[in-house]
Amino acid sequence: MKHYLYLLVASFLVSFLAACGTAPVAEAKLSNDNVFSFSIDPKSQTVNLLNSQTFLQNLDNSLQCGLAQASILQPNRDLALSHYDFTFLPNNQLKIIAKFKNVSPYAYADLMFERVTGKQILSSTEPAPVALVASQEETAELEFLVHHKGRVFTYEVVAKAKVLCDTSGEEQLDFGDAPDGYGTTLASDGARHVITGSLIALGNFGESEDDGQPTVGADGDDLNGADDEDALTNVPALSTTASSYSIDVLVNTSLEVNPVYLVGWIDLNGNGNFDANEKSDVVVVTNGNNTLSWTDLSGQVAGSSYLRIRLSTTNGLGPTGAAPDGEVEDYPIDIVEPEPENGTIIIVNETIPDDPQSFSY
């Protein structure tokens, strides 16, 4: 059987200018030069240029330095590639999701891509997620192959992408708001997270602060009218005799390449800071509600106390210090003595004399 090979090359250059300064929303600009769509005539073995319309749509404008995301749509149904997405993540990984449309019952898809260490190949009839490491100045090359019954159609997509960051401004940060003994302000090396746009957050996406806002009610960063503490709908009281404790935490995350970690602390003994033995188990989260647990508890002291939770792609965070992404939230929590069981009578220091007593003055 005779096979025909047809080559389609679609090349585009995308430059992301993401400002990390004090502006609340970073700006992303796309260069749509050299973006083309093609059709292939199998009989004449020719490649026809259709137009130079952009493939770039649905751009998320809430971008920060080192982050860029766009949805790439292929309008030509003659091509088996329906669409693919690419994202620059904070660690300079380029995440690529390729989705292939089966143009016949015999079609299947191979995805090959180049990286610094060499070519890697995936074969699948389903959408194939691919991650390759690329620095801000490197070129990521993608090659998509679609095998059709009786013929081989090869479509090559060469993608050149750069992330250009203006680092002259200060980073947007999220702080906690528990009393400063727990490490809240910059002067106390307070827990703080770089705001990286709509990638990972506790509850809804929080707002930036210039510094921590310590208050007795742990609501200092809510005083502008926006409730930043929305990952927990309820903070149950903790018993002094409990050996374990858990809370449900709402997490928003669109990251699929890096794991995202959730961790928390409770001031169990009421000494005004978070000790090492007051840390929760670390949870690798999924989008939605996640259970955060403390086990082997001891030494709880009844009274009003505080709880801190932190979310980040960085594992091993402490209760204070900086994190490159994510969010921190502080909450008041009550530590209570257990209530007596129903029907129990407690008599404290009461003496009843056997006989009547008389007193002389």
CB 285 within 8 A of CB 250: no
Same domain, 137 and 188: no
Are residue 198 and residue 161 in the same domain, yes or no?
A: no
- pLDDT tens digits, 118-146: 233 333 333 333 333 333 333 333 333 33
130 in the same domain as 88 = yes
**Would you list the DSSP string of 29-53?**
----TT--EEEEETTTTEEEEEE--
Judgement on whether residues 21 and 81 belong to the same structural domain of the protein: yes
Average pLDDT of the chain is 60
C-beta separation of 70 from 58 below 8 A:
yes
Q: Is residue 346 part of a domain?
A: no
Buried b (16+ CB within 10 A) or exposed e, 310-333: bbbbbeebebbebbebbbbbbbbb
Q: Are residues 15 and 148 in the same domain?
A: yes
Among 80-94, 183-197, 306-320, 339-353, the range with the most confident prediction by mean pLDDT is 306-320
The answer to whether residues 239 and 153 belong to one domain is no
Among 166, 193, 224, where does a domain finish? 166
Residues 138, 33, single domain; the answer is: yes
Q: In this structure, are residues 274 and 328 in contact, taking their beta carbons and an 8 Å threshold?
A: no
3-state secondary structure of 274: coil
Question: Do 138 and 210 reside in the same domain of the chain?
Answer: no
State the Cα–Cα distance between residues 262 and 184, nearest whole angstrom: 18
| Nearest alpha-carbon partner for 200 in 263, 248, 256, 265 | 256
Q: Note the pLDDT of residue 342.
A: 66
Is the CB of residue 226 less than 8 Å from the CB of residue 205? Answer: no
Answer with the one of 119, 138, 166 that is the final residue of a domain: 166
237 class by beta-carbon count within 10 Å (0-12 exposed, 13-18 middle, 19+ buried): exposed
Q: What is the pLDDT of residue 344?
A: 56
Q: Are residues 138 and 266 in the same domain?
A: no
Residue 360 lies in a domain: no
Question: What is the span of the domain harbouring residue 24?
Answer: 5-166
Top pLDDT among 185 and 84 is at: 185
Q: Residue 349's pLDDT is what?
A: 59
Instruction: Identify the domain boundary among 121, 139, 166.
Output: 166
Instruction: Categorize the per-residue pLDDT at 246 as very low, low, confident or very high, splitting at 50, 70 and 90.
Output: very high
Q: Is residue 348 part of a domain?
A: no
Q: What is the pLDDT averaged over residues 226-252?
A: 88
User: Quick one: pLDDT at residue 170?
Assistant: 52
124 with 207, same domain: the answer is no
The answer to whether position 361 is within a domain reads no
Statement to judge: residues 153 and 218 lie in one domain: no
Does the pLDDT of residue 252 top 70, yes or no? Answer: yes
- Mean predicted confidence (pLDDT) in 95-113: 32
- 205-210: list long-range contacts, CB under 8 Å, 24+ apart: 205/252, 206/174, 206/327, 206/329, 207/174, 208/24, 208/172, 208/173, 208/174, 209/173, 209/174, 209/175, 210/173
Whether 359 is in a domain gets the answer no
Band (pLDDT 50/70/90 cuts) for residue 210 is confident
- CATH number of the domain to which 300 belongs: 2.60.40.10
Q: Is residue 57 part of a domain?
A: yes
When mean pLDDT is compared over 80-89, 154-163, 257-266, 328-337, the highest value belongs to 328-337
Per-residue confidence band for 209, with pLDDT thresholds at 50, 70 and 90: confident
- The reported pLDDT for the residue numbered 197 is 57
CA distance 158 to 149: 25
Domain count, the chain: 2
pLDDT at residue 353 in the model: 60
Per-residue pLDDT of 21-37, as tens digits, reads 222 222 223 233 222 22
- Provide mean pLDDT across the span 265-283: 96
**Cα dihedral 71, 62, 14, 170 in deg (nearest 10):** -160
Q: 343 lies in a domain?
A: no
For residue 225, is it within any domain? yes
pLDDT > 80? residue 184: yes
Asked if 214 and 259 sit in the same domain, the reply is yes
Cβ(92)–Cβ(74) below 8 Å: no
